[in-house]
């Protein structure tokens, strides 16, 4: 299991930047600082984090666990799939007629889809796809995605080379 406690539930909560009730930000400065620490090294010990953010080891541990349970962050290994396997990867721009959500949910349910985001601009959705090979990619795009009800059109961007991939928005 990715997390160590209660089942993950649905990570898509209405989690705004601030909790409307009780006014406090959903994430205070300390939690932000903890996340920054873990963005640098996901395995950094709780005691070291505590020293950096001014909290006891146990307090850090509890906060981290809550952040994981709430789905605010996940601690995982990330790779360049193109490097690791000999797979095909692509970004897909999608235009939808009618409600976006059903389409987005259907895409989210596909295991080959790693990333789904609603956007403003000439595409309604951007989705990233990781596949075994060309045949697999073709099948996912042409058979499974283009046939989804509501999908008006798609445009594909096959990945040639990943140049940068970071998660350090905190540190700058």
Interface residues toward DNA, by CB under 7 A: 4, 22, 30, 45-48, 50, 55-59, 61-63, 66
Q: Say if residues 2 and 8 touch (Cβ distance below 8 Å).
A: yes
User: In the bound complex, what is the minimum distance in angstroms from residue 22's beta carbon to a copy of itself?
Assistant: 18
What the block records as the tokens of 47 is 């005691």
Residue 25 DSSP class: B
Q: Which is nearer to DNA, 61 or 136 (CB)?
A: 61
In which region does residue 54 sit, left (phi positive, over 0), alpha (psi from -120 to 50) or beta (all else)?
A: left
Please list, residue by residue across 9-20, b when 16 or more beta carbons sit within 10 angstroms of its beta carbon and e when fewer do. Answer: eeeeeeeeeeee
The listed partner (a copy of itself, DNA, none) that binds 38, CB under 5 to 8 Å by sort, is a copy of itself
- Part in contact with a copy of itself (CB under 8 A); list of ranges 8-16, 54-62, 135-143, 144-152: 8-16
Examine residue 162 and tell whether it contacts a copy of itself (CB under 8 A): yes
Q: Look at residue 41 and give its three-state secondary structure.
A: coil
Binding mask 79-98 for a copy of itself (x = CB under 8 A): xxxxxxxxx--xx-x-----
Nearer to a copy of itself, 102 or 149 (CB): 102
């Amino acid at each position: 299991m990715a997390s160590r406690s209660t089942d993950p539930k649905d990570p898509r909560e209405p989690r705004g930047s601030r909790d409307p009730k009780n006014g406090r930000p959903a994430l205070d400065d300390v939690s932000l600082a903890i996340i920054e620490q873990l963005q640098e090294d996901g395995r950094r010990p709780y005691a070291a984090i505590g020293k950096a953010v001014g909290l006891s080891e146990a307090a850090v541990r509890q906060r981290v666990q809550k952040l994981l349970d709430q789905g605010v962050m996940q601690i995982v290994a990330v790779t360049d799939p193109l490097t690791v396997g000999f797979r095909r990867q692509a970004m897909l721009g999608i235009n939808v007629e009618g409600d976006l959500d059903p389409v987005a949910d259907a895409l989210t349910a596909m295991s080959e889809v790693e990333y789904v985001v609603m956007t403003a601009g000439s595409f309604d959705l951007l989705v990233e796809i990781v596949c075994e090979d060309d045949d697999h990619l073709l099948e996912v795009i042409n058979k499974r995605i283009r046939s989804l009800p509501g999908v008006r059109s798609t445009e594909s961007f096959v990945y040639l080379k990943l140049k940068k991939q970071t998660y350090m928005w905190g540190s700058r």
